[in-house]
Amino acid sequence: MSKAPRGRPIRRGLADRAAGFLADWSVPRQLRGAPEKTEAAESAASRGLRPRLETADRVGTSICPYCAVGCAQLVYAKQGRPIAVEGDPRSPVNQGTLCPKGAATFGLMASPQRLDRCLHRAPGAREWREVGLDWAMDRIAELAKRTRDETFINHLPDGTRVNHTLGIASMGGATLDNEENYLIKKLFSGALGMVFVENQARVCHNNSVPGLGATYGRGASTMPQWDLANSDAVLVMGSNMAENHPIAFRFVMQAKLRGATVMHVDPRFTRTSALADIHAPIRAGTDIAFLGGIIRHLLENDLWFRDYALPYTNLSTIVGPDYKGPEELHGYFSGWNDEGRRYNVESWQYDGVVVPSSLAEGYVEIEGFAEATQRLHEGPTPKDPTLQHPRCVYQILKRHYARYTPEMVESVTGCPRDLFPKVADALARASGREKTAAICYAVGWNHHTKGAQIIRAAGIIQALLGNTGRPGGGILALRGHTSIQGSTDIATLYDLLPGYMPQPHAFRPHATLADYLKAETNPTGWWHHFPKYYVSLLKAWYGEAATPENGMGHDLMARVTGDHSQLPLTVAMERGVIRGLFVMGQNPVVGGSNSKLVQRGLARLEWMVVRDVAETDTATFWRDGHLVRDGEMRPEDIGTEVFLMPASLSGEKAGSFTNIHRLVQWHDKVVDGPGDSRSELWFIHHLARRMKALHAGSTRPQDAAIRAITWDYPEDEQGEPDPEAVLREINGRTVANGKLVPGFAALKDDGSTACGCWIYSGVFPEEGRNRTRSRVPDGAQGPGTHLDWGFAWPDNRRTLYNRASADPAGVPWSEGKRLAWWDEQAGEWRSHDRVDFPTDKRPDFEPDWESKPAGMDAIRGDQPFFMIPDGVAGLFVPSGLKDGPLPEHYEPTETPVRNALHPGVEGNPAAKRWAYDANPLAAPADPRWPHALTTFRLTEHHSGGTPTRIVPSTSELQPEGFVEIPTELARTLGIASTDWVVLSTPRGEIETRALVTDRLRAFTLDGGRVVHQIGMPWHYGWSGIATGDIANVLTAVVGDPNTGMHENKALVCALRPGRLARPLQEVG
């Protein structure tokens, strides 16, 4: 009644109520003959019921903030608050579906644990205090300036230019928009001279870049996820796809329903295995033994696709006479230097021809190497199409893998010898002219000290079988953060500039622009265009300050001086080199290897800024961390000044994400984030403005880059910079008239164009046309390449190397697998896709070697892998990799057994090790650590855990940390499910609950040795609703030689029932 309008007679209200009651009362309806169980029983609430989506006053398109599948969502909002988040049914990526994490997006946006105010922890304080946004920003800018002033150097003592500071580091980027990554890299590397700039891509999928790049030319997935529906066989290995990428697995199930064979090779029997036709168990860390066995099986039984592999790979190329393989050199390739623990690649070169790498990281430290590559202008690489030459790649491959017999595979991997040929045969049966097979992998192949080579092995198999570049064929690198592909492309990584160009290096011939371009420009292949892309980037960053006098701004660029990736970053923190740290959307206390080392590092910092959606384990290390728990330090002893700033999610900010298959998709801002939460774009923009203001009057050379950096992004009334303005800068413009360039073909090396990331060029080809916003899928009759749904780099191409879907003459291998073909009448290539080849290059084009052709002029019309200087897929890789031209089985750095192939060379000899007292390593086959341990993820949680452990609906599904223990081992140790157990490695001990299961097993290896495989999910920490001890306390700081990727998929541990001893709590 209180809501009745004033002055209205009460009697009238009563009459209304009576009438309403009569209308609601079911008896009159029953008397009128309505069925008592249906209409007559309908209540008033039922009658008025409508879905709450209809109350929305705003609907926006968004992209899921969790993994990199890139599911499209619709965010419904009412009066500025979200009311629901649903899958977008139009999207070809997810077709309206969402996995448990994606379905929890509304719960994430509305989580009771969302942070809405800035928190500050003074040095030594035991509690947070709330602070204002402006105060925090001013204080952070002041600290950044102070630390930079104290640590920045322009030159080394010997005069070498470095322009950098080692005193400030940054982590995070993979959960952020492309535009945010771009501004982070631009401000931190381009203006402040920070070199410790890293994101999750380093510890997630970095091995994919050299693994796929060295083989095919680009370090990214070759096929779209939806194309898996066209596969005739799918091998999932190094991935638990059904759990970690359920929506990508949707297309595997579609293929399965069409008759495809699904295979899962994994140490554990997972939810993926349950849906597979074949599950082949292998001991963690033995993937190359298994894949090498497949390569041998294909070669020995002549099961490979000769018509494809002979012209499109380097199988027939002849290698120089000095090359020797590990079969001859007891586990080493030729060129091993025991003192420096690294390889010299000279002996891996082709006969008389030196070939540079297509990889940004592929610089070869041999004097005269760059000059020697000029020989590529003079003629084709030496070949023997008959494959008889003993030094042709085919013969080398055969010799190398001859050792990988079924017996060897069984004794190393533990997989029964009759099982792995079934996988090889199923792949071979599903390959050839009429059929194609796909391989899907994830971090299970990355997190090893030989991860790049595992991925290479898959590349070799797919090239031999003729699957790459064809419908339903190829390799999918399943990635785990929503824009982790974007944060690799527009790299917030220490060694890469946007578009896979190397950050200049102080100890390489990069001193002047001319030196750098000479060293990094390949004589042949697409990368001959390198100078256009680099100079355009300099122009985008330094604008008018990029002049010929300062090498178009090259002289302002920060130089790296070594490995500044996440693992050495951790060590540098712990040793006090790094004083200030930015952490944006990353949780290294949970996700970083050797978590206690990470926490010791954080405790030595002077200041740390954490930006996230909730209180993370990293942000609270000083209060709840292991140092405090284990009694090593009290909060009062920890001098780190900590800022915790609330961040926005997709739906609360606009920008683009790049998914697993390079698809760039825009997400709208639909609502404001809670309270003081802001985008990283806002944070970086306003930090940049403050830094510019603080240095405006400076004439010091160390501040030149800050003054020079271009920074004029328009802001809206809330101070949010326009993300489309950033995307336009990424796309590129003509400097003179400011006009957007239509694509990377328009870029120039004379400073007349500016472009932030050349591979994305074309994403915003004209004003008003942001192609990442495009949302038009192909209909039922369409080709299914969905060219108008988002934008895929490069040039909107969906399947990379799709020239290879046609035979050398340009005719599709079969009608059923038609994708690209040469149209003789039109004189150009045609495709349902964008052709990944010069559209007018005839299939029979031959370089005119008389004219010493450069760049693409030296690439034949039947060479689809044109990013590589000789145009063919590199089965044998002469340069660019640091641990061998071919994948070879090495045990993990910490292994329960000796290497059966070459005892004495157990692990990858070139692996990076940081063995010291804070990071001890177990010796091979040390009986104190008898079990094989692997870490893994659950479908119910997301990586570092924050975005699901704070959501009630996902937390309850996996509420506590646990370790999976095989039944036999549990029985021996007297452990039952939910019992407490203690896991230990040389780095530390943790306690967690046991989950005893037959899905894990013991492996019987060489000599009858039995090794039990244990597995532990690594999402947990102390923050949030679902909690548990941190698995990464157990893991080590060891790295892949190519990337510095850690090895958390295969290590050793001890296990015992019970709990950890606790130090007595302080009394009083």
Partner 1 sequence: MDGGLAHGRAREAGRAPPALLRDEAELTAGVVIEPGRSYGFLTDTTLCIGCKACEVACKEWNNLPAETGKLTGHSYDNTGQLGANTWRHVTFKENGPREGTMAPFQSNWLMMSDVCKHCDPAPCLEACPTGALFRTEFDTVVVQQDICNGCGYCVPACPFGVVELSKDDGKAHKCTLCYDRLKGGLEPACAKSCPTDSIQFGVVEELQERADRRVEALHAQGQDKAYVYGAPGSPGATGGIRKLNAIFVLAERPEHYNLPPAPSRPARNAKPAFLSGLATMAGLAAVALLLGVGRR
User: Of the candidates 131, 153, 278, 1060, which one interacts with partner 1 according to CB under 8 A?
Assistant: 278
Calculate the CA 208 to chain-centre distance.
Answer: 8
Q: Which two tokens stand for residue 63?
A: 């992209």
Question: Rounded to 5 degrees, what are φ and ψ at 150?
Answer: -80, -20
In the bound state with partner 1, the residue whose beta carbon lies nearer, of 51 and 697, is 51
Query: What is the rounded CA–CA span in Å between residue 707 and residue 701?
Result: 10
Among positions 65, 70, 107, 884, the unique one binding partner 1 when judged by CB under 8 A: 107
228 or 688: CB nearest partner 1: 228
Axis crossing angle, helix 287-300 with helix 420-429, rounded to the nearest 10: 60
51, 157, 368, 1007: residue in contact with partner 1 (rule CB under 8 A): 51
With beta carbons less than 8 A apart as the criterion, state whether 713 and 682 touch. Answer: no
The residue (of 428 and 519) whose beta carbon lies closer to partner 1 is 428
Q: Give yes or no for residue 87 binding partner 1 (CB under 8 A).
A: yes
Candidates 42, 563, 672, 1006; binder of partner 1 (CB under 8 A) is 42
Q: In the complex with partner 1, which residue's Cβ is closer, 106 or 682?
A: 106
How far is 136 from 132, CA to CA, in rounded Å?
Answer: 6
Pick the closer one to partner 1 by CB: 277 or 722: 277
Q: Tell me if 85 sits within 8 A of 109, measured CB to CB.
A: yes
722 touches partner 1 by CB under 8 A: no
- Of residues 789-848, those binding partner 1 (CB under 8 A): none
Amino acid at 177: D
Give the residue with the Cβ less far from partner 1, 745 or 776.
Answer: 776
| Smallest gap from residue 897 Cβ to partner 1 (A) | 20
Q: How far is the CB of 94 from partner 1 (least distance, A)?
A: 8
Angle at 1022 between CA 1021 and CA 1027, to 5 degrees: 70
Which residue in 9, 714, 779, 1068 binds partner 1 (CB under 8 A)? 779
Q: Output 77 or 315, the one with its CB closest to partner 1.
A: 77
- Do 357 and 364 touch, CB atoms closer than 8 A? yes
Q: Which phi and psi (to 5°) does residue 820 adopt?
A: -130, 150
Contacting partner 1 within 390-429 (CB under 8 A): 416, 419, 422
The SS3 call for residue 1033 is helix
CB of 380 to partner 1, least distance (A): 45
487, 593, 954, 1013: which one contacts partner 1 (CB under 8 A)? Answer: 954
Using CB under 8 A as the binding rule, whether residue 54 contacts partner 1 is answered as yes
Task: Examine residue 775 and tell whether it contacts partner 1 (CB under 8 A).
Answer: yes
Does the footprint of partner 1 cover residue 776 (CB under 8 A)? yes
Q: Give the tokens for residue 522.
A: 């390949």
Residues 956-995 that bind partner 1 (CB under 8 A): 956-960, 962, 967, 976-978, 993-995
**C-alpha–C-alpha distance, residues 482 and 412, integer Å:** 36
Nearest distance from residue 386's CB to partner 1, in Å?
39
Q: With binding defined as CB under 8 A, does residue 550 bind partner 1? A: no
Residues 66 to 85 in contact with partner 1, rule: CB under 8 A: 74, 84-85
| Residues 995, 987: Cα–Cα separation, whole Å | 23
| Least Å from the CB of residue 768 to partner 1 | 19
CA distance 110 to 989: 35
E strands present in 36-93: 58-63, 72-78, 81-87
Is position 37 an interface residue for partner 1 (rule: CB under 8 A)? yes
Give the pair of three-digit tokens for residue 239: 């991935």
Contact 1036, 1047 (CB under 8 A): yes
Q: Which is nearer to partner 1, 131 or 957 (CB)?
A: 957
**Amino acid (one-letter) located at 189:** S
Query: Measured from the CB of residue 100, what is the shortest distance to partner 1 in angstroms?
Result: 4
Smaller CB separation from partner 1, 103 or 706: 103
Q: Which stretch binds partner 1 (CB under 8 A): 276-284, 491-499, 642-650, 848-856?
A: 276-284
Q: Are 988 and 1058 in contact (CB under 8 A)?
A: no
Q: Which H/E stretch holds residue 828?
A: strand 828-831
Nearest to 945 by CA among 627, 586, 483, 478: 586
User: Which residue's CB is nearer to partner 1, number 696 or number 976?
Assistant: 976
Instruction: Work out which of 144, 192, 233, 280 binds partner 1, going by CB under 8 A.
Output: 280
Residue 56: CB minimum distance to partner 1, A: 7
Give the number of residues in contact with partner 1, rule: CB under 8 A: 99
Contact 336, 347 (CB under 8 A): no
Q: Which of 10, 31, 45, 1067 binds partner 1 (CB under 8 A)?
A: 45
> 108 or 298, CB closer to partner 1?
108
Q: What is the DSSP letter of 772?
A: G
Residues 238-257 that bind partner 1 (CB under 8 A): 242-243, 246-247, 249-250, 253-254, 256-257
Q: Which stretch binds partner 1 (CB under 8 A): 95-103, 131-139, 597-605, 914-922?
A: 95-103
Candidates 630-638, 675-683, 843-851, 955-963 — which segment interacts with partner 1 by CB under 8 A? Answer: 955-963
Residue 413 beta carbon to partner 1: minimum distance, rounded to whole angstroms: 12
User: Tokens 């091998």 sit at which residue?
Assistant: 235
Told to check if 943 binds partner 1 by CB under 8 A, we report no
Question: Does the footprint of partner 1 cover residue 1057 (CB under 8 A)?
Answer: no
H/E segment holding residue 236:
strand 233-237
Q: Is 999 in the site for partner 1 (CB under 8 A)?
A: yes
Pairing of strands 233-237, 437-441: parallel
Cβ pair 466, 305 in contact under 8 A = yes
* Cβ–Cβ under 8 Å, residues 989 and 995: no
Q: Which stretch binds partner 1 (CB under 8 A): 623-631, 667-675, 777-785, 809-817?
A: 777-785
CB of 651 to partner 1, least distance (A): 14
Residue 912's SS3 state is: strand
d(CA 287, CA 264): 12
| Binding span for partner 1 by CB under 8 A among 181-189, 371-379, 997-1005, 1047-1055 | 997-1005
Phi-psi region of 933 (alpha: psi -120 to 50; beta: other; left: phi over 0): beta
> Of residues 75, 98, 201, 990, which one binds partner 1 by CB under 8 A?
98
Q: Report, in Å, the least distance between residue 104 CB and partner 1.
A: 5
CA distance 237 to 282: 10
Regarding 740 and contact with partner 1 (CB under 8 A), the answer is no
Residue 33, interface with partner 1 (CB under 8 A)?
Answer: no
How many helices, marked H, and strands, marked E, lie in the chain?
33, 36
Candidate residues 78, 96, 689, 930; the one interacting with partner 1 per rule CB under 8 A = 96
Q: Which pairing describes strands 437-441 and 342-343: parallel, antiparallel, or unpaired?
A: unpaired
Q: Which residue's CB is nearer to partner 1, number 11 or number 50?
A: 50
760: closest CA among 484, 537, 499?
Answer: 499
Q: State which of residues 72, 103, 463, 556 lies at the interface with partner 1 (CB under 8 A).
A: 103
What span, in angstroms and rounded, lies between the C-alpha atoms of 217 and 868? 5
- Nearer to partner 1 by Cβ, of 3 and 37: the residue is 37
Shortest reach from residue 964's CB to partner 1, in Å: 10
Q: Which amino acid is at 220?
A: A
DSSP, res 124: T
Cα–Cα distance, 863 to 872 (Å, whole number): 6
Q: Which of 1, 31, 49, 736 binds partner 1 (CB under 8 A)?
A: 49
Q: Which of 1033, 61, 188, 192 is nearest to 584 (CA)?
A: 188
- The region of 54-62, 400-408, 485-493, 664-672 touching partner 1 under the rule CB under 8 A is 54-62
**Distance of closest approach, residue 754 Cβ to partner 1, in angstroms:** 35
